[in-house]
Chain A
């Protein structure tokens, strides 16, 4: 495969799901699920091919329209983008498989659910676009495509609580993207470019850069739902239908996190400061405590899982204070690689675990007819596979070995100690305890012996299996750290770690 053809793969990753979405929309309703799953399989295959090419030949760049930066828009894939693309591909494929029988159930097939497939495939295209685009303004358009399709999916059922939560989500998303765009406008004014690489070369010290990056950052923090900007998330994620909740929690918040990470280490590394890193870490720490505590208090399973997302997002933000430190040369800061990998690993592991958890809760809710915590009493006997999936996902969220979540939290913990920033360690541990609390509360109910056997509605076997596969994936990536690291290191955005010695002299 020559270079041009493999760089065309990047465009395929966006064009293929869109093609599938349009075809699905034009097809009669009964054929849409099949078209959707075929598209999902094709997109996942293209994702795998891209990751393989990038691992073999290094980073790829595709100049859309043949113009190239600065005038045109480029797509760019390196190890970091491929890791997120792969996570999206795998989660997306299994959620698609789950969604087909899910929406075939009459009680879930209400409102405008016939639009699930076009919306979800466009959302997928925009997620891929978020991970690939190298143009600040194109990223704004991608953010909007992602936001609109995510909200549309969240209100698919048409139930009033979902509508209210959806409107709140939409307004928060619009405000976030406007703050982002304001920052982009100022960056364009300062460096006359939109391409990430060219912008990175033009970044200087100065008030306008700091203000611009702050605006961009705040806009993206709203979209990532970092405490205290998470107000829209629990409602929107818990009122959506199960496959949609899985997509929103596992994938959509990761895309804006990815963008923050990319901008922080690749573009604005000259204008971030140690204090800014600590501030992001503090927000993350507050999110861990607050989100996990709220999750512990919820009686409805979906609300619990949604609040748990707020807490788990917090862990990803512990990465920023740990990589933004003063040092003379890289050898002096051996924890950088740990912090970096730990943060990214957390995003990936949470993606699998949270998708599995929402899908499993969806199975429970469908079988019992309610997602109240107490209604799951003794379900292990009747739905062993789903209970097991929930347990696997929970193990990864808590961070018990051997799981993806364990690797992530362990690396963050290690980095916190070696870097001397020990104050993050108690937060990580406390978060794990709280998480263990709510996970075991559900499991205790599920494993509780009951005298009476509850009459359950039969649930399609495919749904149970997909939840289990994703739960298993959250564990398996704990064993597969090496391959993961090899891929992540391709043209690592992190080769030149954040340069706080420049940043420190403000």
Chain B
């Protein structure tokens, strides 16, 4: 049992590290695109790792399935939100600036 708990702790800690890194990135990165990059890492990987960590603790198959489903929904929503923000920012930024940013 403690072996399983250890897995949970490791995965959840790893997830928390990603969340922390994502938050720091969100605050520290210079422009919207790199901030989005940091944010989506936190959402996708951080949440994913935490879900994996918690999967060791579930007692029924359906609960585990629900958690995976929630993760996949969060992935879909996150990537779309990111896409929408990025697209809006891209369309609103003057061309030269975008080029500078991508270079």
A and B touch in the complex (CB under 8 A): no
Binding site for A on B (CB under 8 A): none
